[in-house]
Amino acid sequence: MTSIPTPPDGRRPIRRALVSVYDKTGLEDLVRGLHDAGVALVSTGGSARLIESLGIPVTEVADLTGFPECLQGRVKTLHPRVHAGILADTRKPEHLAQLEELDVEPFELVVVNLYPFRQTVASGATPDECIEQIDIGGPSMVRAAAKNHPSVAVVTDPAAYGSVLEAVTAGGFTLEDRKRLAAEAFVHTASYDVAVASWMGNAYADTSDGTGFPAWTGATFERAAVLRYGENPHQRAALYRHWRPGLASAEQLHGKEMSYNNYIDADAAVRAAHDHGDQPTVAIIKHANPCGIAVGDTIEEAYAAAHACDPVSAYGGIVAANRPVTAAMATALNETFSEVVVAPDYDEDALAILKEKKNRRLLLLPEADVAAADPIEMRPVSGGLLIQTRDRIDAVVEGADRAAGATGSAGSTNPSGSANPSGSTNPAGSANPAGAVGSDGAADSTNPARSVGSDGAADSTNPADSTNPARSTNSVGSAGGDDPSLWRLVAGAAADEATLADLDFAWRSVRAVKSNAILLAAGRASVGIGMGQVNRVDSCRLAVDRAGEERVRGSVAASDAFFPFADGLQILLDAGVRAVVAPGGSIRDDEVIAAAEAAGVTMYFAGTRHFAH
């Protein structure tokens, strides 16, 4: 066997191909085209059976190796007669001489795709079922062919089969083509390996340290789009897509291409619009902060109330709904300018109305894709990565008990109408998802009250309120959570049903506001929002100013973290707020409670915090 001459463009004629695929999309057309071009086919298992059923000659790997497939298909291609044919560098006479000595024929083309490991994991399969979908022979062949790209072309994507047939007709792939295919192949196996390693790292990792976080983590992303620019015109940007569904995979139905800032704001809007259970909800976002959030009996009512919160800021904002957009909502949307609308669906008439604005971007993001959001958040920092469980409206402080909070508390029902959010499981799989988290992120099992502290320590010495036995002997206590049934009444009379519904709405909504955050609400709609201030006093002033004197009077307030002093709360009280919910936990909680008592205002401590940075 003599070395194969290489033309100037590096083309290598394809005379023999190894085909072993799980995904048989496009396989029939591919093998017919290869056969018609005179390419000899070698294949395995189901791929070989399909080729045979087409009446196309094929050599089964078992016949090539003289060794049968065994162990329920676990061993098929792991044999020197296969891998020598893939790895032989046909530019080297010594390799060709050894192939001749061993009676091994080289391959010029390897077509392989892998077992559906990710899909199996996502389906909720058992660990044993997942393990069976860890491909061994496939990645080995792909890596071998990619390494030997000077002599072999490797294809892992059925979408590339058309280019394979074009290359066969043209006399083979060029060297540049084979390099590109090799790079794609290594990405394919690397992504696969990361998926397997991440799953096993979570499923089987040593958890003896009690953190709930694996010692190693990895993620892979594929470029989905190159954006016009980044946050500013001088910055370059692209969108990369993870295998989990979400905003990055939303279908764009209309409008200009999405920008970097559009994606940032749309992501914030989607999260804000899906924090209120099954109630129709709309959130309008600008610069990652809400201009308005509201729930309503219908989605158009929710939009009207959300827009009314701050119509000036809502101009040019991003609108997200958790229900299909109706014609009535679309008509209202067309009365002003919005950059993006995101919804799980659009009525036919609504879509026609919205498309009257040619530049407005319309995104379709199914409810199931929102629900499947990764329970883990990652944020890059210089030289590393921060990871945390996603902040959801379902936090429960360690030791929380509804019965403990029933007397003088918000009651045992959830006025938002959603299913019990505080009873959800921990998606991250940590041992204690509800455990208190201090300002450094470390769980504090000795004093769960510290979960609400950031700029002050939890107050464990606050004396009992002997005038109201319904109140906790500790301003925070050892229990609490996002569900109103877990809140503790610390000042004023217990809220009536309507007030409690507004407090619950405000608490669910303030999570979407950048800290320091204050949200005023009335009628299950925001009426004033103070966001992103470096002290809580200014956030209180901003919320009151945005609401205006008429709307603030009789509203309720939610604070994302404790009031370190009574001064911020006093601004709300002086403006006429009738009820407040906050985490509690300041060393001056007694002063804050006293201010609420003096004003005759109802105040609850939730015991949880919702900073957003």
For the annotated catalytic residues, the residue numbers are 147, 287
Angle in degrees, CA 238, 241, 246, rounded to 5: 120
Instruction: Please tell me the distance from the alpha carbon of residue 378 to that of residue 361, in angstroms, as a whole number.
Output: 27
Among candidate residues 283, 288, 222, 290, the one with its CA nearest the CA of residue 260 = 288
Q: Tell me if residue 540 falls in helix, strand or coil.
A: helix
Instruction: Please tell me the distance from the alpha carbon of residue 314 to that of residue 336, in angstroms, as a whole number.
Output: 9
Instruction: Please tell me the distance from the alpha carbon of residue 487 to that of residue 480, in angstroms, as a whole number.
Output: 6
Query: DSSP secondary-structure letter at 75?
Result: B
Instruction: Give the sign of the dihedral formed by CA 349, CA 350, CA 353, CA 354.
Output: negative
Instruction: Please tell me the distance from the alpha carbon of residue 364 to that of residue 343, in angstroms, as a whole number.
Output: 6
Instruction: Please tell me the distance from the alpha carbon of residue 521 to that of residue 382, in angstroms, as a whole number.
Output: 38
The amino acid at residue 415 is P
CA-based max dimension of the chain: 100
Tokens of 238: 């692209």
- The residues, ordered by sequence, that sit 6+ positions from 515 with a Cβ below 8 Å of its Cβ are 531, 532, 560, 561, 611, 612, 613
Instruction: Please tell me the distance from the alpha carbon of residue 588 to that of residue 459, in angstroms, as a whole number.
Output: 8
Residues in the chain: 613
Instruction: Please tell me the distance from the alpha carbon of residue 394 to that of residue 345, in angstroms, as a whole number.
Output: 26
Q: At what angle do helices 80-87 and 137-147 cross, to 10 degrees?
A: 30
The amino acid at residue 362 is L
Instruction: Please tell me the distance from the alpha carbon of residue 126 to that of residue 120, in angstroms, as a whole number.
Output: 9
- The residues, ordered by sequence, that sit 6+ positions from 104 with a Cβ below 8 Å of its Cβ are 80, 81, 84, 85, 88
Among candidate residues 320, 314, 272, the one with its CA nearest the CA of residue 299 = 320
350, 327 in Cβ contact below 8 A?
Answer: yes
Instruction: Please tell me the distance from the alpha carbon of residue 267 to that of residue 265, in angstroms, as a whole number.
Output: 5
Instruction: Give the sign of the dihedral formed by CA 209, CA 212, CA 213, CA 215.
Output: positive
The amino acid at residue 300 is E
60 forms beta bridges with 43
Can the peptide bond before residue 516 be classed as cis, meaning omega within 30 degrees of 0? yes
Tokens of 240: 């990369």
Q: Per residue in 540-578, is it b (16+ CB within 10 Å) or e — as a string?
A: bbbbbebbeeebbeebbbbbbbbbbbbebbbbbbebbbb
